[in-house]
């Protein structure tokens, strides 16, 4: 199903920050042909002018691609595969969307029926800016890539995926299930975006300049986001995201109660507990 002796042709669907960076990463390797498509035809033309792709990805090219990467929103991933499934026999398709549950549940059976390999994927790198103009060939160098294969008992699939993705420069490939991915991503990615976006809504925010340094920058970095993308991701993953809301609201409520009651001992205990957990989880 997969050519394991190298990568000759790559297809990219969606040429924004992620898709553009993937395309540029593959173009670093001599001999790899990169074809791309985007809903905005001007982006395709610009990407070709910038030599990030060799040409537009058409239906006729799909069967010749060793791997096709889908760097679009979850619903668009599903719709694209459903519409192109009959053209994909023999190739490998990997999505790059931020949730995996509905995508994998829907597309694993379709891939099996049409004799191609579909693998859920999530490159764990990005910027707070979006769009092809911010894409970089080194965006994924040394960064993790999470994959969700249709089966976890076939080492050949994992080795083939490693070969196909090697030119992108990922530092590590992690294998998991769709549910485990979505549960962890609700905490590690989605909650920070929600909290950061809510944090800057304070009426004090416009007056922070001259009073803030690293703490404000760290806390507010991901407040600037793509509302369309994150709305879809949050709704796709609302079950796990709401669980994280409950944990967070309980924890923040405890700090609030300590302040209301001038309970310094409880406040110190809460702060020490959070500091210790951070040290245990991530090291000193």
**pLDDT tens-place string over residues 100-109:** 999 999 999 9
Residue 113: is its pLDDT beyond 60? Answer: yes
Residue with tokens 């796709």: 236
| 174 token code pair | 């992690």
Given a cut of 70, whether residue 156 has pLDDT beyond it is yes
Across 16-35, average pLDDT: 94
Q: Is the pLDDT of residue 1 over 50?
A: no
Give the residue with greater pLDDT, 200 vs 30: 200
Strand duo 33-37 + 55-56: pairing: parallel
Burial class (CB in 10 A: 0-12, 13-18, 19+), 149: buried
pLDDT score of 283 = 86
Q: What does the pLDDT look like over 42-57, one tens digit per residue? A: 999 999 999 999 999 9
- Structural tokens at position 205: 């925010």
Smallest Cα–Cα separation from 66: which of 27, 148, 11, 113?
11
Nearest to residue 241, comparing CAs of 284, 189, 166, 176?
Answer: 189
Angle of helix 238-260 versus helix 227-236 axis, rounded to 10: 100
pLDDT of residue 5: 53
The per-residue DSSP string of 154-204 comes to -HHHHHHHHHHHGGGT-SEEEE--HHHHHHHHIIIIIHHHHHHHHHTTSTT
Q: With bands split at pLDDT 50, 70 and 90, how would you rate the model's confidence at 26?
A: very high
Q: Which residues contact 209 (CB under 8 A, 6 or more apart)?
A: none
| CA-angle at 173, arms to 82 and 231, nearest 5° | 50
213 pLDDT band (50/70/90 cuts)? confident
- Rounded mean pLDDT, 16-42: 95
Per-residue confidence at 126, pLDDT binned at 50, 70, 90?
A: confident
4 pLDDT higher than 50: no
pLDDT given for residue 174 in this prediction: 92
**Distance between CA 73 and CA 228 in Å, rounded?**
9
User: What 8-state DSSP symbol labels residue 138?
Assistant: T
Mean pLDDT value across residues 61-65: 95
User: Under a CB-based contact definition with an 8 Å cutoff, are residues 114 and 85 in contact?
Assistant: yes
Can you state the angle between helices 227-236 and 74-84, rounded to 10 degrees? 80
Phi, psi of 69 (to 5 degrees): -110, 130
Query: Cα 128–132–136 angle (5° rounding)?
Result: 75
Burial annotation 89-124 (CB, 10 A radius, 16+ → b, else e): ebbbbbbbbbbbbbbbeebbebbeebebbbbbbbbb
Q: Which of 235, 10, 211, 249 is nearest to 101 (CA)?
A: 235
């Amino acid at each position: 199903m997969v050519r394991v002796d190298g990568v000759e042709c790559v297809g990219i669907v969606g040429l924004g920050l992620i898709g553009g960076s993937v395309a540029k990463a593959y173009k670093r390797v001599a001999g790899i042909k990169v074809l791309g498509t985007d809903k905005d035809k001007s982006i395709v033309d610009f990407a070709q002018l910038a030599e990030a792709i060799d040409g537009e990805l058409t239906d006729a090219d799909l069967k010749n691609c060793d791997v096709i990467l889908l760097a679009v929103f979850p619903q668009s991933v599903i719709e694209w595969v459903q519409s192109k499934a009959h053209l994909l026999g023999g190739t490998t398709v990997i999505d790059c969307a931020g949730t995996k549950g509905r995508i994998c549940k829907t597309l694993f059976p379709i891939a099996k029926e049409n004799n191609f390999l579909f693998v859920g994927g999530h490159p764990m790198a990005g910027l707070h800016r979006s769009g092809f103009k911010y894409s970089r060939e080194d965006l994924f160098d040394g960064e993790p890539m999470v994959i969700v294969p249709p089966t976890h008992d076939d080492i050949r699939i994992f080795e083939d995926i490693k070969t196909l993705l090697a030119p992108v420069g990922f530092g590590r490939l992690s294998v998991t299930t769709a549910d485990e991915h979505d549960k962890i991503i609700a905490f590690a990615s989605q909650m920070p975006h929600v909290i950061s976006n809510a944090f800057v809504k304070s009426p004090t925010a416009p007056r922070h300049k001259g009073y803030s340094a690293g703490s404000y920058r760290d806390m507010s970095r991901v407040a600037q986001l793509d509302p369309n993308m994150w709305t879809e991701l949050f709704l796709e993953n609302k079950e796990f995201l709401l669980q994280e809301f409950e944990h967070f609201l309980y924890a923040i409520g405890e700090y609030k109660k300590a302040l209301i009651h001038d309970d310094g001992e409880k406040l110190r205990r809460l702060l020490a507990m959070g500091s210790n957990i951070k040290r245990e989880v991530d090291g000193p």
